[in-house]
Amino acid sequence: MEFLSHTWHWSIAGFLIGLVMLVLIYFGNHFGMSSNLRSLCSMTGIGKRISFFDWDWKSQRWNLAVVFGAMIGGFVAVHFLSSPSNVALNPKTIEELNSLGVDAPNGKFLPDYFFGKDFYKSPKVLGMLFFGGLLVGFGSRYAGGCTSGHAISGLSNLQLPSLKAVIGFFIGGLVMTYFILPYFLN
Amino acid sequence: MKLLKYILVGFVFGIVLTKAEAVSWYRIYEMFHFQSFHMYGIIMTAIVTGVIGVFLIKKLNLKDINGNPIYIMPKEQGNTRYWIGGIIFGLGWAMIGACPGPIFIMIGAGFMAMGVVLIGALFGTFLYGLIKNKLPH
């Protein structure tokens, strides 16, 4: 059972993620997480006012079921299958983060800086969480997919548009992590 | 019951992403600083697995679970939406260290703060729907 609590090797994880995509294709569907955000918006009935949300989201209930399963999976993995040896980062990364005021992982998946119990006490942290989410939601719909829809599904099907989107993901990510995030963190 | 198999696939997905630490803000930061191969290894192995699988599906004309021919819809051609949308997504991804899958997975794991990220992501999706027709695609 010990292998369950250790960090899984990238090759095993990558293979299983590819398999998840293929199984969803075998089920007659596709692998894409961000379209669930559109479904959730549509569930409110807002499609009456905004045509983008006026679509047959009920045909996408299977995808919401995938999300539901993933949430249970996350719960089980974090609470029953983790160990203090997890998230063994490059020591250089820890040192860099430390100088920016972000706590070291020590087995945690997420830094307390953003996701700790006191997150709601800091307007700056709340703002970053909301604004970061906003960029993810807006960007994934504008680009028509996220990491699952473009990087995994799209590139697996050798789609040029997905390659453009993935290069975009990395340009945005590098700009954020090198030029914007250090300014916000300090 | 028809949804049960999807819940199971999602469950595996949630476990794998968590156990591989792809749900970790730290791992995303480390990736964008090129300080570990871990995330690149995950993404590249997933793509290689996917490329081989999709190739075989097409080559062997495989049928899906209902016996229908499998057709994978190609992405619409274009430039602006992929570059600009991609960059906006990347900015958010590196900021909060989570893409849509991990947002849901970490909410399931009980991280309340991720709920704020989800509210932001829903608002961003809403905003896109609102101004979609004014944006270049």
Question: Which whole-number Å values give the CA distances from A66 to A4, A36, A49, B108, in the listed order?
Answer: 22, 10, 28, 12
Q: Give the residue-averaged pLDDT of B42-48.
A: 98
pTM across the whole model: 0.96
Is A91 within 8 Å of chain B by CB? no
d(C-alpha A58, C-alpha A121), whole Å? 38
Question: Higher-confidence residue: A66 or A83?
Answer: A66
Q: Give the residue-averaged pLDDT of A164-184.
A: 97
Collapsed DSSP state (helix, strand, coil) of residue A159: coil
Sign (positive/negative) of CA torsion A25, A58, B2, B10? positive
Q: List, for residues A40-62, the tens digit of each pLDDT value.
A: 999 999 999 999 999 999 999 99
Closest to B7 (Cβ–Cβ): which among A27, A65, A152?
A: A65
Q: Which residues are paired to B63 by β-bridges?
A: B69
d(C-alpha A141, C-alpha B79), whole Å? 14
Q: Quick check: B110 and A24 CB within 8 A?
A: no
**% of residues, chain B, pLDDT over 90:** 99
Closest to B121 (Cβ–Cβ): which among A26, A37, A152?
A: A37
Closest to A131 (Cβ–Cβ): which among B20, B64, B120?
A: B120
Per-residue pLDDT at B1 exceeds 80? no
d(C-alpha A26, C-alpha A11), whole Å? 22
Q: Give the residue-averaged pLDDT of A30-36.
A: 96
Residue A186: predicted pLDDT: 74
Q: pLDDT-derived band of residue A2, with 50, 70 and 90 as boundaries?
A: confident
Give the number of other CB atoms < 10 A from CB of residue B40. Answer: 13
ipTM of the complex: 0.96
Residue A48: predicted pLDDT: 95
Is A158 within 8 Å of chain B by CB? yes
- Is B34 exposed, middle or buried, given 0-12, 13-18 or 19+ CB atoms closer than 10 A? exposed
Whether residue A61 contacts residue B3, with contact meaning beta carbons closer than 8 Å, is answered with yes
Q: List, for residues A122-136, the tens digit of each pLDDT value.
A: 999 999 999 999 999
Considering chain B, what is the average pLDDT of its residues? Answer: 97
Q: What amino acid occupies position A124?
A: K
Q: List, for residues A72-85, the tens digit of each pLDDT value.
A: 999 999 999 999 89
Q: Quick check: A73 and B11 CB within 8 A?
A: yes
Closest to A172 (Cβ–Cβ): which among B87, B110, B129?
A: B87
Q: Quick check: A155 and B51 CB within 8 A?
A: yes
Q: pLDDT-derived band of residue B2, with 50, 70 and 90 as boundaries?
A: confident
CA gyration radius, chain B: 18
Residue A1: predicted pLDDT: 65
Which chain A residues are Cβ-neighbours of B114 within 8 angstroms? Answer: 110, 115, 129
Which chain B residues are Cβ-neighbours of A165 within 8 angstroms? Answer: 82-83, 85-86, 89
Residue B23: predicted pLDDT: 97
Q: List, for residues B5-39, the tens digit of each pLDDT value.
A: 999 999 999 999 999 999 999 999 999 999 999 99
Q: Give the residue-averaged pLDDT of B60-83.
A: 95
Give me A78's structure tokens: 């974090």
Distance spanning both ends of chain B, measured CA to CA: 39
Sign (positive/negative) of CA torsion B80, B81, B84, B90? negative
d(C-alpha A13, C-alpha B49), whole Å? 11
d(C-alpha A31, C-alpha B46), whole Å? 12
Whether residue A37 contacts residue B119, with contact meaning beta carbons closer than 8 Å, is answered with no
DSSP secondary structure code for residue A45 in this structure? T
Q: Quick check: B101 and A148 CB within 8 A?
A: yes
Q: Give the residue-averaged pLDDT of A148-156.
A: 97
Give me B27's structure tokens: 């791992």
Q: Quick check: B26 and A74 CB within 8 A?
A: no
A96 to chain B, closest Cα gap in Å: 10
Give the number of other CB atoms < 10 A from CB of residue B60. Answer: 9
How many contacts (CB atoms, under 8 Å) link A and B?
A: 506
Q: H-helix or E-strand containing A140? A: helix A123-143
Is A21 within 8 Å of chain B by CB? yes
Per-residue pLDDT at B45 exceeds 70? yes
Q: Which residues are paired to B69 by β-bridges?
A: B63
Q: pLDDT-derived band of residue A154, with 50, 70 and 90 as boundaries?
A: very high
d(C-alpha A24, C-alpha A36), whole Å? 15
Whether residue B35 contacts residue A93, with contact meaning beta carbons closer than 8 Å, is answered with yes
Is A1 within 8 Å of chain B by CB? no
